[in-house]
Chains A and B, each alone.
Chain A
Amino acid sequence: MATETQTQNVSVNNFEQCLKCSICTVYCPVSAVTPEYPGPKQAGPDAERYRMKNKAFFDDALKMCLNCKRCEVACPNDVHIGDIIQAARIKYNTHRPKLRDMMLANTDFVGTMASPFAAIANPILKLKPMKAVLHGVMAIDKHRTFPDYSSRKFESWFKKNAAALQDKFNKHVSYFHGCYVNYNYPQLGVDFVNVMNAVGYGVHLLEKEKCCGVALIANGMPKQAKRQGEVNMTSMRKAIAQGHQVLTTSSTCTFTMRDEYDHLLGIDNHDVRDSISLATRFLYQLIEKGEIKLAFREDFKKRVAYHSACHMERMGWVPYSTRLLRMIPGIDFVMLESQCCGISGTYGFKKENYERSQAIGKGLFDQIKEVNPDCVATDCETCKWQIEMSTGTPVMNPISIIAEALDVEKTRELNKQ
């Protein structure tokens, strides 16, 4: 009898397992720079006990949490501290999102609107008067520059230049490109298609792709996030039914769809989760099994410093990207000390968070300046904006580095069946 009671007494997000050891506080990037933030232990498992009694104990300061999950990586007892905090925001927050937050969160809607006008929108968004308006009216910090909108969406490029060539391959994957690749940086998607094609895989888009929803969750729009997540799951199920893995080139999209859908939004993704993978992981695993081979250009030389994006670290997948990169003979690889860059998606764009965001990332920026690499490699697009803005060092996704270093002809030969 006692056995049953005890072993079945599993608390949501493991919060009963908290020993109150405070180790999470040591690794919280916000707690260190913001005395107003109650810290992960207090905001998470401690206050959860109170909130369960009375929702009046919900504290607005929880919105200062970056959702970086570094508390969870540090926790010796596997308490899902970040999930507890984000779940509390979803459950108890009564404020409606501001216009600014809605705009920042709706990355695909805004991208759709901006892309056709990219030639006009990009320079305008960089103008001082425009930044002043955004800063003053919209509370988007004046130090930030929106990532350029691309005049041609990745999807349009793909349909025109690549789609017709994909069916000739024997093996196939589906690609969840994400908003960033589609509206801001189609080149990463092009690089991905080139690498996959070189190793003998055809690439296909999902029937319908919506923004993964990470920014919607962060900005208090969980219902919309859930609707979009359901659309993605439906499309992915169809792709998986055809035998495709669904690959991404963004650690945060991947993390959101694999873990946050279930933990925070209540989307049933159990049948899809294992088929969603990061491209670097997919490639690494195939190389390890001996199913594909990569050949690299002899003239490729680059000093690359790898930054472990928070959600990449939480997924535990850093080794896939780093060991893949280290296969390139001409790479001078440096592993940066793992810490948050401070941007956390839309968080750092908000006027009220700018200083905090830069203070959080300072240690990382100093490290990068000291290492002085040709480029920083990271699997997260918003880390890219933050690091490029704060250090001036170019930042590349590992897939783009692989694409640049790849001897395409040789690789194609090696992977011919």
Chain B
Amino acid sequence: MRFDVIIIGGGLSGLTAGIALAEAGKDVALVSAGQSTLHFGSGSLDLLGCDDKGNDIYKPIDAIATLGEKHPYNKLEDVSGLAGVAKQLLERAGIATTGDANVNHWRITPIGGLMPTWLSMEGMAIVQDPDQMPWKRVALVNIANYLDFPTKFLAAGLRERGVQVDVKAVTVPQLAQLRKSPTEMRSTNIAKVIESNDIINDIADKINSITGEGYDMVLLPAVLGVASSENSKKLLSLIKMPASYVATLPPSVTGVRLQTQLRKRFNSLGGSFFPGDQVIEGVFENNVLKGVKTAKLDGTTLEADNFILATGSFMSRGLKADYDHIYEPALGVDVDDMGLDRKTWAKIDVNEAQPYMEMGVKTDEKLRCLRNGTAINNLYAVGSILSGHNSIKLLDAAGVDMLTALQVANNIIK
């Protein structure tokens, strides 16, 4: 089977590259081994949130100029320009966001912290300045018995910042039913129950009846809008007070929506999405990748002019570790293990910066993968699989995913 470009990995980076290339008229196939880490998403996308000492960054574009030389942002031609393109790409996929790359805003984590971020999906609660909370009195309204929205932590976090918080809960019979299997009262099931029973009005009435006057913000768990933002917007519009959503513990409805809408956009552009399959081998000839073989399409080689490796880091199985080495399992491209031996891959204190987080595949200045020390002419890597940064400490995961994907799409289109 022949395509112009084959992308390996169906998360944020793979889909971004796929959409950008399909928009440019390329025939793109995307092979995805299981669903992506977007399912743990926060409803926001980070570009660069913290410096290497853990201090919040206010102006990410300015701060990017000071990053160490190994950071993947150094391989982008125009960070600021690409960040604008990324926001527009999301918009065309039906994902409206607030925020821009010059100035961070802050999102509220499910356990009540504030984190600097770049773009937030519409309807998410955001704070422009962490030293100046925009609300005096907040109603924190959960769905009764929904456990993935830890209101005690959330309230404590907000109170620490001087906000007066009243914790409340609402329910309707259809949602109370969900507790029949306590393990299944999950964000996405709540969303599906609300949407398929058309009970948004009932829930809004309940919220209105217990919040009354006197709150300057009603905060709700982000449990609406799996397929689009239509219903999540509708609920906010029906609440009499200003209202917005806070991310829940996984699975994340906003993350699933992001994944779904990007995939739909990719499909609508004529892209071919192969779910539940896995690239297991590359067919190399000199310094060119001719094709890839997958676990399911046995007997068929997927061929293309260009390939993009977007399989993510250890968590997504884009990188693997065994007893003596770190490796990239799909194509066997070179991995930068920073010259560390096994004993120093990880630090005992889980909160410390973990050295293995900076490991990833080696790439040249055009983000092309190396194999046995030589660049492969038509194989690029994008997203979390790239070496040279710690996305947990720097809060730069979504930015690296989207911006490297857009850069590689540009490199291929040229």
Contact A33 B196 (CB under 8 A): yes
In angstroms, Cα B278 to Cα A72, docked, is: 13
Q: Judge whether B184 and A288 touch: CB under 8 Å.
A: no
B181 and A2 contact, CB distance less than 8 A: no
Chain B: CB-nearest residue to A78: B34
Which chain A positions have C-beta within 8 A of B283? none
Contact A38 B264 (CB under 8 A): no
Q: Contacts A32-B192, A35-B180, A36-B180: A316 and B296 contacting too (C-beta < 8 A)? A: yes
The answer on a CB contact under 8 Å between A335 and B267 is yes
CB distance B181 to A22 under 8 Å?
Answer: no
- How many angstroms from the CA of A7 to the CA of B323 in the assembled complex? 10
- Chain B 247-261 per-residue mask, 1 if CB under 8 angstroms from chain A, else 0: 000110000100000
Which of A39-47, A112-120, A161-169, A183-191 makes up part of the contact surface? A39-47
A317 to B276, CA, bound (A): 10
- A38-B184, A76-B34 known; A359-B179 Cβ under 8 A: no
Contact A316 B34 (CB under 8 A): no
B25-51 near A? 1/0 per residue, CB < 8 Å: 000010001111101100000000000
Count how many pairs of residues, one from A and one from B, have CB atoms less than 8 Å apart in the complex.
117
A408 at the interface (CB under 8 A from B): no
Which of B186, B267, B275 has most chain A Cβ within 10 Å? B275
Q: Could you tell me if A42 and B184 are in contact, using CB atoms closer than 8 angstroms?
A: yes
- B299 within 8 Å of A by Cβ? yes
- A316 contacts B277, CB within 8 Å? yes
Q: How far is the CA of A279 from the CA of B368 in the complex (A)?
A: 39
The answer to the question of A412 belonging to the interface, with a C-beta cut-off of 8 Å to chain B, is no
A337 and B264 contacting across the interface, CB-CB below 8 Å = yes
How far apart sit A374 and B282, CA to CA, in the bound complex (Å)?
40
Q: Give bound CA distance, A41 to B177, whole Å.
A: 19
List B contacts of A22 (CB < 8 A): 186, 250-251
Nearest A residue to B180 via CB reads A35
> Which of B35, B277, B294 touches A74 (beta carbons < 8 Å)?
B35
Chain B residues with CB below 8 A from A76, complex form: 33-37, 316-317
CB under 8 Å from chain A, chain B span 290-326: 294-300, 316-317, 322-323
Chain B residues numbered 354-397 whose CB sits less than 8 Å from any CB in chain A: none
A75's nearest neighbour on chain B, judged by CB, is: B34
Are B188 and A77 neighbours in the complex by a CB distance under 8 Å?
A: no
B1 part of interface (Cβ distance < 8 Å): yes
Neighbouring B residues of A2 by C-beta, 8 Å: 323
Give Cα A75 to B189, complex, Å: 17
Residues of B contacting A318 in the complex (Cβ-Cβ under 8 angstroms): 274
Given A21-B250, A74-B35, A76-B33, decide whether A317 and B296 contact each other with a Cβ distance below 8 A.
yes
- Nearest B residue to A72 via CB reads B276
Question: Closest residue to B38 on the A side, CB-wise?
Answer: A23
- Complex contacts, A320 vs chain B, CB 8 Å: 297, 300
Per the bound structure, the CA–CA distance linking A31 and B34 in Å amounts to 19
Q: Which residues of A contact B86 (CB under 8 A)?
A: none
Q: How far is the CA of A336 from the CA of B40 in the complex (A)?
A: 26
Across-interface contacts of B226 in A (CB, < 8 A):
26
Contact B274 A319 (CB under 8 A): yes
Is B178 an interface residue, CB under 8 A from the partner? Answer: yes
B39 touches A315 (CB 8 A): no
Q: Which residue of chain B is the closest to A37 with respect to CB atoms?
A: B181
Task: Confirm or deny: B80 has a beta carbon within 8 angstroms of a beta carbon on chain A.
Answer: no
Contact B184 A37 (CB under 8 A): yes
Within 8 A of A (CB), among B149-206: 177-181, 183-184, 186, 188-189, 192-193, 196
Residue with the greatest number of chain A CB neighbours at <10 A, chosen from B179, B183, B298, B317: B183
List 6 A-B pairs, Cβ < 8 Å.
A3-B323, A31-B189, A35-B179, A73-B276, A76-B35, A313-B276
Known: A21-B251, A25-B186, A76-B33. 8 other contacts (CB 8 A): A7-B322, A27-B35, A74-B276, A76-B316, A78-B278, A315-B296, A316-B276, A335-B267
What are the 9 closest A-B residue pairs judged by CB atoms, nearest first? Answer: A316-B296, A73-B276, A76-B34, A35-B180, A32-B192, A316-B277, A42-B183, A39-B184, A26-B188
Listed in ascending order, the chain B residues whose CB lies under 8 Å from chain A are 1, 29, 33-37, 39-40, 177-181, 183-184, 186, 188-189, 192-193, 196, 226, 250-251, 256, 264, 267, 272, 274-278, 294-300, 316-317, 322-323
